[in-house]
Structure 1
C-alpha cells in the first residue's frame, strides 16, 4: 500500500511541473498582488468575537445560508497576522475588543500571536468600550490600550464557584455512591457533598493562586508595572475612565471616530475589506506535512459527538462535546498509512472521561509514535484521561494556565430507589448471581462489591501511573506523589516533571518540525473527524428542544454508570 502511494506521489510531482497551468497561476498571482498594492492600508481594524474556536468550522453554502458565517478561529487569526506582517503597507493592527470570554490558555495563545506580530515590526493597538479581566489581560500585550469615554477597567481579579447538589438529590431520593482513588479525585463531590472537602479546597486554592500569578505577572510585564502596582490595580478595581487614564492603566480615552486622529493616519481598513487587498504569499507545495488530531470534551466509548444546543448544566461535563475512542483510533490508523504525515501534534482540550476509551486512544497513539514524532499540545484542559493519552507523546507542551494532572480514577453509580419510593412506585427484582445487581440503581454497593470496585480502580490507577513512568522517566512513587488525583496548572506541572515546555501551539509545531527535520514552512493540517450525520438530521436535531436534554441525560448516564472514569474533579470555567 505504501509503495503504491509513493509511486502515485512521484507521478503527481512530474505532472505538476509539466502542467502549463502551473505557470499561468503563477502569473495570475503576481498580477493580483500588483493590483492589491494600489490600495492604501495604514491600520487593519479587527473586531474580535467574544469567544473564538481554536480551529475553523467548515460550513458549506447551505449551512452558511441557514446558520450564518462561522466565527473567526484562533488559527485563522494567526494566519491573518502573518499576512499583515508580510505586507509592508500596514503600520499595524487595531484589535476591537468587546467582552472577551475565553479560557486563559486561549488568551495566552492570542498574547503570543500579538507578541510575534510586534516582533516583526507591526504596532498592535487595543480598543474597547471597557475592559474585563480577559480583555485587559490580552490588551496588556499590545503597544497601546485605548478605551471609550464612560467605560471602566474591571480587572477585579479571579473568582471561582462550585455547585453542590447532594442536598437537592437527597430531597428527591437520589444518592450518588462513588469510589475514588484518593480524596483529591473528587469528580463526584458535586453529587455527594454539600461543601468542599479539605483536599479539594486545597487544590482549588493552589490553582487559583497559580492562575492569579499568571495574570498579574503578564499584565505587569506588558504594562511596565511592578507586581505590587498591578496587585493594587486589581484590588482597587473597578476603575472609572478618568481614574484609569490618570493611573496609566489605559493610554487614551476616545471613541472609534477618534482613532484616525489619535494614530495620525488616514486609512483604517476593516479586516473584511483588508483580507481582499492584503498581499498574498505563494503557496509552497510540500511533499510532507505536520498532522494535527484534536481530542476535546468528554472522552467516551464510540464515536464523537457535539451537543445539539447550549443549555447550561449544574453537573459538570454532561453537556459538553464528546470525543469517541472509535473516532480517534480511526484517525490514527489512517495517519499510520500516510507517510506524508511526517509528524503529528495531539491537541488535547479534555477533562478526561471513560478509562477504557482513554486506553484505546493511548494504545493507537503509542503505535503511531513508533515511526514518527508525536508532540502533545495541552490547551485549556488536559487532565486525567486527557493527561493519560498525552503520555503517548515524545514531547509535551502546555500553557502556564493549562489545567492538567489529575492522575487518578473514580467510579460510581446513581442510586434512585428513594425517588421511586417517593413516587410510590414499587420495583421488584429477581436475580441469579451474587453480584447481578452490582451496577443496578436500586441500592448502593455492598461491602463485597465495594471491595471489588476498589480493586478495579487501583488496577487502572497502577496502569495510569506506569504509563506516566514510561513517558516521563519517573519512578512509581514519584508519580504517585504528584498523582492521586491532584490537579495542577501547566506551570506547576512543568515543575513536577509532567510537562516538557511551556508555550502555545506554535511552540509545539516548531518542536514537531525540529524532531522530524522539516522546514519551517511545512503545512500544518488539521485532521477533522468524519461526521456521522448529514446536514438535514443535524439541523433537525438542533431544532428539537428536547435533543439537548437527551444529550445531557446520556452524558450523566455515561459518568454514573459504574464504569471507571479518568475525570478531573471540577469544571474550571474562566
Structure 2
C-alpha cells in the first residue's frame, strides 16, 4: 500500500525543546517522531482516506476497506475523509455511508470537501462529526433518481413474465424512489438535523449550494482546506503530536469487463456507465444518488418528496 506520511507537532515538551537546542533549524516534529520510534512508543495517527470519483462498487470497495483498517488500527485516532465526488450508484453509496457511520462511532471523522460533495457525495459525508469545505466547493443535492443503463449490446431474449425484465409502471417507480430517498433524508437528518436550517421539503428539491450558502444553511460546519480538516480531526481526538498518513484507495478498474476490453477507447460517459451498470449488455434500471447530467441516458423518474413529479430531458437538464 502506498502511504505518504508527515508529522506535525504542537508539543511544548522539554524533550522537543532539547532537540531544538541541539539542532538549530531542524524540523522538530520528524525528530520527535524518530525518537519516539526508537524508544518503542506508538505514534498517534490521523488517516486521510479519499473518496474521489464516481461512487460504484469497484470505487467504494477500497474506501470501505481502509475505513475498516482504520477502525482496527490502534495507532489511528481519527479519520479525515477527503471527498470530491458527484455521487453514483445508490447501493454502493449506502454501504459506504454505513462504513463512515461505523467509523464515526469509534473515532472522530471529519470530512474535507475539496471540490464537490453532491448527492451520494453528501450522503457519505453526513455521518461525519464535522464537515469542512473549500471556499469554492459545491455541496448538497439530497435526492435519488432512476436511469436506464446499457453499457454494451443487447440481444434477443425470452422472458417468463411481463415484469421479469424490470417492467413497472411510472407510479410504481415513483413509489420505489420515494422509499429509497427516505433513507437518504433519514441519514442526513439523523446526523445533522440539529444543524441544518432546511426543512425536509427544502432538502427534497435536491439543490447544490456553494460553500458560503452551505455554511449558512447548516449543511457544512466550516469553510477551510484539507489542512483545516486534519487539524479539526486531531483536536477532536485530543492529539497534540501526531502523524498524518494518506491511505491508498485506488480502485482496480481492470476487474470491470468493459474496462478490460476497451480501456483506452472509453469516453468519460462510457466509463461512468461501466462502473455503475450492474449488468453490462442488458438494459437495466439503476437507482442513483448522483448529481449531474448523464449523456445519452433517459431519467425515467425523479422524486422530490411531496413535490410534483417531472420528467427530465437529460439533453438539457441536470439530474439531481
Aligned position for 1:298? 54
Name the SS for the 1:499 alignment partner. coil
1:376 matched to which residue of 2?
Answer: 111
2:236 is the counterpart of 1:515: yes
The yes-or-no answer on 1:503 pairing with 2:220 is no
The answer as to 2:163 corresponding to 1:435 is yes
Q: CA deviation at 1:280?
A: 4.5
Q: Distance in 1 between matches of 2:95 and 2:213?
A: 28
Offset from partner CA, 1:455-509 (integer Å, 9 cap, x none): 2211121111111111112589714313422111111111111111111112111
Provide the C-alpha distance between the structure 2 equivalents of 1:548 and 1:530, rounded to a whole number of angstroms.
18
Q: Secondary structure at the match of 1:564?
A: strand
> Within the alignment, does 1:492 sit opposite 2:213 as a pair?
yes
Select which of 472, 480, 486 maps to 2:201: 480
| Structure 1 residue 522: Cα displacement | 1.7
Does the 8 Å CA contact 2:197/2:217 hold for their aligned counterparts? no
Q: Tell me: CA distance 1:400–1:333, structure 2 relative to 1, closer, same or farther (3 Å).
A: same
Structure 2 matches for 1:212-251, cutoff 5 A? Answer: none
Q: Which residue of 2 aligns with 1:556?
A: 273
- Higher mean alpha-carbon deviation, 392-401 vs 552-561, is at 552-561
What is the RMSD computed on CA atoms of the aligned residues? 3.6
Q: After superposition, where does 1:285-434 map in structure 2 within 5 Å?
A: 285=33, 287-301=43-57, 303=58, 324-413=59-148, 428-434=156-162
Change (3 A) 1:464 1:494: same
Partner of 2:299: none
Q: Which has the higher contact order (CA 8 A, sep 6+)?
A: 2
Show structure 2 runs of 5+ residues with no match.
Answer: 9-24, 34-41, 278-282, 295-317
Change in Cα spacing, 1:327 to 1:414, as seen in structure 2 (3 Å) is closer
More strand by percentage:
2
Deviations along 1:418-460, whole A, 9 cap, x unmatched? x99xxxxxx654211221122xxxxxx6xx4332222221112
Helix, strand or coil for the counterpart of 1:563? strand
Matched, 1:547 2:276: no
| CA separation of 1:510 and 1:479: change in aligned 2, threshold 3 A | farther
Q: Which runs of 5+ in 1 are unaligned?
A: 1-56, 60-72, 80-278, 304-323, 421-426, 439-444
From the superposition, tell whether residues 431 and 337 of structure 1 become closer, same or farther in structure 2 (CA, over 3 Å). Answer: same
TM superposition shift of 1:532: 4.4
Q: Distance in 2 between matches of 1:415 and 1:547?
A: 17
Correspondence for 1:453 among 162, 173, 177: 173
Partner Cα distance (1:58, 1:415) in 2: 35
**Structure that is richer in helix per residue:** 1
Change (3 A) 1:476 1:359: farther
Verify: 1:567 aligned to 2:290, yes or no. Answer: yes
Partner deviation per Cα, 1:41-95 (whole Å, 9 max, x = no partner): xxxxxxxxxxxxxxxx969xxxxxxxxxxxxx9x99xx9xxxxxxxxxxxxxxxx
The Cα of 1:297 is off from its aligned counterpart by 1.1
Contact (CA 8 Å) 2:149, 2:286: kept in 1 or not? Answer: no
8 Å Cα contact 2:62/2:251 also seen in 1: no
TM superposition shift of 1:365? 1.2
TM-score by length of 2: 0.70
- 8 A contact 1:350–1:383 mirrored in 2: yes
* Cα contact 2:43–2:243 (8 A) shared by 1: no
